[in-house]
Amino acid sequence: MIGMYEPRRRERPLTSLMFSPLAWLKLQYFCHAGKTEIAGFGITAQDDLLYVEDFLTVRQRTSPVTVAMDDTAVADFSDRCVDAGLSPQRYLRVWCHTHPGSSPEPSGVDEATFERVFGFCDWAVMFIVSRAGKTFARLSFHVGPGGAMQLPVSVDWSAWPSTVRNASGPMAMLSATWQAEYAANIHPIPEVFPASPVVSGPNAKTLGPAADVWTELDQQIWEEFEHHERTYCDDLRP
């Protein structure tokens, strides 16, 4: 539910990114629930646009090295936020995603996605957290001369006691809603496809029965996976 958390914020530097306890725990659940990257949006406080009150996902295709959010799902998400009375500065400025490896550094695909989706915004934040707990946050400005700066990241654990005390339902119920959202929105591409994509020319191949399930997005993600799998995912192997 959009805007369901009302955390107590402690004093902090304005040029830092802070998460509420529940937003952070939900992000950690999504990070560890599967073997792929996941992405979503940070919902920020009305009077503090770098304080993330909630973390929400949309339908997306994922692999261990890439994530592609469905454009229609993003548009629907934006409509719901507007209906809930949120301004774009609160729901469409902090892009959060996870890396299933140990490094939180953005890849070339991350940079391209950030530019494509958020390049039109006056400002935006790219935030990445790895399974090792390492984080990366960068605030980028796209007006005037532009610019960028890395941000320190913290969690408002001082709000945790009051969050538990004021919870509207059992924590187990909250966990169930996270599991349902993950199941609905996170769609990993298969690690082994039943057929190869079509290749033009004298050595052309066909997809056969699987032709109707292969898309350009599948091809893009699969090529990126093959390119990075030997290096980026080494720390995932037993």
pLDDT value at residue 226: 55
Is pLDDT of 232 > 50?
A: no
pLDDT value at residue 163: 81
For the chain, what is the HEC assignment? CCCCCCCCCCCCCCCCEEECHHHHHHHHHHHHHCCCCCEEEEEEECCEEEEEEEEECCCEEECCCCEEECHHHHHHHHHHHHHCCCCHHHHCCEEEEEECCCCCCCCHHHHHHHHHHHCCCCEEEEEEEECCCCEEEEEEECCCCCEEEECCEEECHHHHHHHHHCCCCCHHHHHHHHHHHHHHHEEECCCCCCCCCCCCCCCCCCCHHHHHHCCHHHHHHHHHHHHHHHHHCHHHCC
Residues paired with 186 in a beta bridge: 60
* Strand pairing category for 135-141 and 123-130: antiparallel
Dist CA 194 CA 196 (whole Å): 7
Question: At 235, is the pLDDT very low, low, confident or very high (cuts 50, 70, 90)?
Answer: very low
pLDDT value at residue 42: 97
pLDDT value at residue 189: 85
Task: Give how far Cα 237 sits from Cα of 15, 68, 145, 146, 147, Å.
Answer: 37, 24, 44, 40, 38
pLDDT value at residue 208: 39
Q: What tens digit of pLDDT does each residue of 71-117 get?
A: 999 999 999 999 999 999 999 999 999 999 999 999 988 998 898 88
Q: What tens digit of pLDDT does each residue of 170-190 get?
A: 676 888 899 999 999 999 987
CB atoms within 10 A of CB 156: 21
Is pLDDT of 218 > 80?
A: no
pLDDT value at residue 93: 95
Q: Does residue 49 or residue 167 have the better pLDDT?
A: 49
Single-letter code of the amino acid located at 136: F
pLDDT value at residue 231: 46
Dist CA 51 CA 53 (whole Å): 6
Q: What percent of the chain has pLDDT over 90?
A: 54
pLDDT value at residue 210: 40
Dist CA 85 CA 78 (whole Å): 11
Q: Judge contact between 136 and 106, C-beta under 8 A.
A: yes
Question: At 36, is the pLDDT very low, low, confident or very high (cuts 50, 70, 90)?
Answer: very high
Q: What tens digit of pLDDT does each residue of 125-168 get?
A: 999 999 999 999 999 988 877 789 999 999 999 988 888 777 66
Domains recognised in the chain with CATH numbers: 17-187 (3.40.140.10), 192-236 (no CATH)
Mean pLDDT, rounded, for 57-64? 94
pLDDT value at residue 109: 87
> Hey, what are 196's tokens?
């190869």
Q: Does residue 208 or residue 49 have the better pLDDT?
A: 49
pLDDT value at residue 9: 53
